[in-house]
Amino acid sequence: MKIALVTDSTSVLTKQEVSDNNINVVPIPVIVGDKEYLEGVNITSAQLFDMERQGAAFPKTSQPSMGQMIELFNKLHGEGYEAIIAITLSSGISGFYQNLVNMAHNNPEYNLYPYDSKMTVRLQGYLVLAAARMIKAGLEPKAILDKLDKIRETINEFFVVDDLKNLSRGGRLSNASAFIGTMLQIKPLLTFNDEGKIVAFDKIRSLKRAVLKVEKLAIEKTADLPYKDKLRLFVFHSNDQKQAEQIKNFVNENFPDKPVDVAEFSPVIATHLGEKSIAIAWMVDIDKLDFSK
C-alpha cells in the first residue's frame, strides 16, 4: 500500500529528515497583531520574543485552513496514495486533530488516518519518524497506529514556565486558576496529562528550585522503566541556551550512556509557554526499535 505521511510544523523536523522520509509538513500560523507568520517558514522563537519585548501584541496561534488541508490531501490522493497518516500536535492544545477527524469522516476517499501525538516538538517529531520507518517497512496503517500507541506510552515530560501569563491568556492550561499566584517567584511545574492537556501539578519558589525538582523527577520516574536500556532524553527551552546546557550536563552525568537532544520550543509552543521555559522529557529511542513486519 502506498501511504503518505503528513504532520504539522510543531514537530520541528529538519529539512533533511523531511526530505529523506518523504514527509509533508504543514506550517502552523502565528499571528502577531494584524500580521500572520508561518512556523518553520518566516518566524523563529527568538524573533517572536524580540517582537514581544518591543511591545508587539500578544501572539496568537491558529490552525492550517481546512481548504489548505483539502488541497494537500487532493494532491496526495491524485498522486496515487492509497492512505494518508496525519500526525498532529496534541489535541489538548489545538483543535487541528479533531478537524482532521471530521475531514476523514466526510472524505472517505482519502483513507485518512489522523493520529493525536498528545505531545509536541521533537517528541511528536520522533513519532513521525517512527511512522516513516514503518511505512518503508511495508506496514499497513492500522498496524502503524498500533505501534505508535506503544511508543507514545513511553513519552513523559516535565517543564517549568517562568511566567504563567502566556499559558493562562492563551487558555492552554486547564487548571490555571489554582496556580496563578500574586508572588512572581512562584514557578509552576507542568506536564501533559493522559488527554494531552497541559496541567500544573506543583509550584515551587524560584526558577532554580523548580528546575532542580524537575531534574529530580526525571531520575525518579525513569528509574524502573521497562525500556530504560532504550531511553532517549530531551532538554527543551525557550530562548535560554545557557540553562539548557546546564540541564544537558545534568542529564549526561546521570544518564551517561543515553542520547540527549537539546532543542528550542517551536514558535507555536513558545507562544504559549513564554520565554525562559525549560523542560526535561524522555521516550523510547526509536533507533533501537525493530520496525520490520
Fold match between domain 3-28+63-152 and domain 156-288: no
What ranges do the domains of the chain cover? 3-28+63-152, 156-288
- Mean pLDDT for the stretch of residues 133-149: 97
Q: Decide which of 3.40.50.10440, 3.40.50.300, 3.40.50.740, 2.40.30.10 is the CATH code for 3-28+63-152.
A: 3.40.50.10440
pLDDT per position as a tens digit, 168-208: 655 555 555 545 554 456 788 889 988 888 888 888 888 89
- Is residue 160 within 8 A of residue 214, CB to CB? The reply is yes
Residue 23's nearest CA partner among 107, 136, 104, 123 is 136
- Mean pLDDT for the stretch of residues 207-222: 94
- Residue 178 has a pLDDT of 47
- Residue 86 has a pLDDT of 98
- Residue 176 has a pLDDT of 52
- Residue 167 has a pLDDT of 62
Q: Residue 3's pLDDT band (boundaries 50, 70, 90)?
A: very high
- Mean pLDDT for the stretch of residues 86-106: 95
The larger pLDDT score, comparing residue 233 to residue 240, is at: 233
Please give the mean pLDDT across all residues of the chain. 90
- Residue 104 has a pLDDT of 97
Spatial separation of the C-alpha atoms in residues 70 and 14, rounded to whole Å: 25
- Residue 182 has a pLDDT of 41
Residue 113's nearest CA partner among 134, 162, 53 is 134
- Residue 41 has a pLDDT of 87
Would you identify the CATH topology of the domain 156-288? Hypothetical Protein Tm841; Chain: A;domain 3 (3.30.1180)
pLDDT at 144 over 50: yes
pLDDT per position as a tens digit, 73-93: 999 999 999 999 999 999 998
pLDDT per position as a tens digit, 22-43: 999 999 999 888 899 988 888 8
Q: What is the pTM of this model?
A: 0.92
